Amino acid sequence: MAKPRRTQPTINSAAELLRAGMLEDAERECRTLLKRQRDPLVYRLLAKIAKLQGRLDDAIAYFRKAIDLKPDDPDFRFGLGKVYNLQGRFEDAIAEYDRALEHAAEHAGSLSGKAESLIRLGRFDDARALLEPIIRREADNGEIAATYALLLQDTGEHREAVTLIERHLADSSTPAGARRRLFFELGRSYGKLGDLEASFDAFRRANEIEMQPFEIIDVVRLFDRIMHVFSAERVARRPRSSVRSKLPVFIVGMPRSGSTLVEQILDAHPAVHGAGEVDDFYSLIHEAPREVRSRRLFPEIADELDRTTLDRLARRHLARLKQRDASAQRIVDKHLFNFQTLGFIEMLHPEARIIHCRRDPLSVCFSIYTLAMLPTAMPFSTNLRHLGQYYRQYERLMRHWRETLRAPMLEVPYEEVVADQETWSRTIVEFCDLPWDDACLRFHESGRKVATASFDQVRRPIYKTALKRYAGYEPFLEPLTEALGMTKE
């Protein structure tokens, strides 16, 4: 998309840059606008930008500033609730949705968001009671319908879900974001009904709605730079922090690789806190250039960090982790894309444990394709060929880390964990240098809530139905299998 012509910044020009995907330019214009006047709409734009960049704590801070300036606006409360949902803070999200509904009782986004939070908490009856009257009088919109369809699938009412979804898809006024969600839910429903051709077509149409520009060469170049900066020779002579702590545990890998399962096993241990997909370490990397007053960014900034700076950054990171749970002996960071930053992790935390979750690549990629991921954060996720290409590059970078780093790293194959939960649970706990606790075998009884697409998994024992989730869809997956380099059987 062509870059919008630069003029005197206005809130409309900043919003246009945001829609064009030019997040840094949009943020720059917002900050210029705030120098003139504190405007809640500008803070909301900054919150949206931060959310798209994965800076959820910053997004919360911006929404709070917008609310301080205009506390009666339900849209700001709704926006804050959505970020809380992404963080897994479902009770906090419900509180914000309720405040929005106090000012606008029919605020559809808050009704849908509250129901989704209730579903994530396992309160299905409460979610149904909230939405069912709206559905019955056909006062629902696409977002409400998509959330209600999720409830129908939980009770096996897939035909009813299809009927509801298709009613809204036939309405040309249903906005694109809601249509995307509806198509994903339609794909799931048709899959449960055994109509895999209709199911795949729905997933394809869902992904086409917010398809993002993607060039694999950009990923190749980035990973080449990372591997150059962290070549074996340079890693061997590079300083490391003298702050030695086993508090951080990093779970890395591709989405849908079994990472939630591994985190749940660990979180069930009384000495462990599973923090989820937090951006603490990513934020630290972005802070590093300021520490040494350098304009060099990731990954090249690694060459300018001496031991004193590394010690300072490591202590800062540990302090942030301890704010999440001061009593835990291990805190798990499950930000999967930390697989790109393992070289930095070893520099700051030489004794930190790294757990690499692996799964059959076809299952990983197909599962990503069939879920409503955030396409701005994962632009490869909406196209099967791009998914396969990205997966190959992820494998290439992980091979490099295994050959280069000295940090303790455990490879955990999802299929083997499913086949032998106890052996692998004990291996994972032992790798984290902790005594065994039988609670790790009963993680589904912990009552813990997660914000990822695996939210329902945490309430059930390990199950085998997710193995080869692509089974039956193979006729539609040729672009993926070709990109993965898989030969036809």
> Any idea what the Cα angle at residue 165 is, between residues 180 and 190, rounded to 5°?
90
| Sequence-separated (6 or more) residues with CB below 8 Å from residue 372 | 180, 181, 184, 206
Residue-level pLDDT at 446: 64
The label of the residue with tokens 């056909």 reads 138
Phi then psi for residue 67, to 5 deg, are -65, -40
Separation between Cα atoms, residue 128 and residue 150, nearest integer Å:
10
Q: What is the CATH number of domain 217-484?
A: 3.40.50.300
For strands 272-274 and 353-358, give the pairing. Answer: unpaired
φ/ψ (deg, to 5) at 436: -70, 145
What's the half-sphere exposure (Cβ side, CA atoms, 13 Å) at 188? 24
Is-contact 433 246, C-beta < 8 A? yes
Domain ranges of the chain: 11-209, 217-484
pLDDT of residue 8: 74
Tokens in use for 295?
Answer: 């304009």
- According to the model, what pLDDT value does residue 18 have? 87
DSSP state of 128: H
The DSSP-derived string for 213-268 is ---HHHHHHHHHHHHHHT-HHHHHHS---S-----EEEEEE-TTSSHHHHHHHHHT
CATH class for the region spanning 11-209: mainly alpha
Q: What angle do CA 351, 353, 355 make, to 5 degrees?
A: 155
pLDDT by residue (tens digit) across 12-67?
999 998 887 788 899 999 999 999 999 999 999 999 999 887 788 899 999 999 99
Distance CA 211, CA 380 (A): 9
Question: What tokens appear for 413 in the block?
Answer: 């194959």
Quick check: 382 and 27 in contact, CB under 8 A? no
**Fold match between domain 11-209 and domain 217-484:** no
Torsion of CA 282, 283, 284, 287, to 10 degrees: 130
CB 363 within 8 A of CB 467: yes
What is the Cα–Cα distance from 336 to 379, expressed in whole angstroms? 16
Q: Which of 371, 347, 132 is nearest to 229 (CA)?
A: 347
**Residue type, position 276, single letter:** G
- List the beta bridge partners of residue 332: 249, 274
Chunked in runs of 10, what are the mean pLDDT values of the chain (489 residues)?
60 89 89 93 94 86 96 96 91 97 94 95 94 91 94 92 96 94 97 97 97 95 98 95 97 95 96 90 89 94 96 96 95 92 97 97 96 89 98 98 96 96 97 97 70 49 70 96 81
Cα–Cα distance, 20 to 24 (Å, whole number): 11
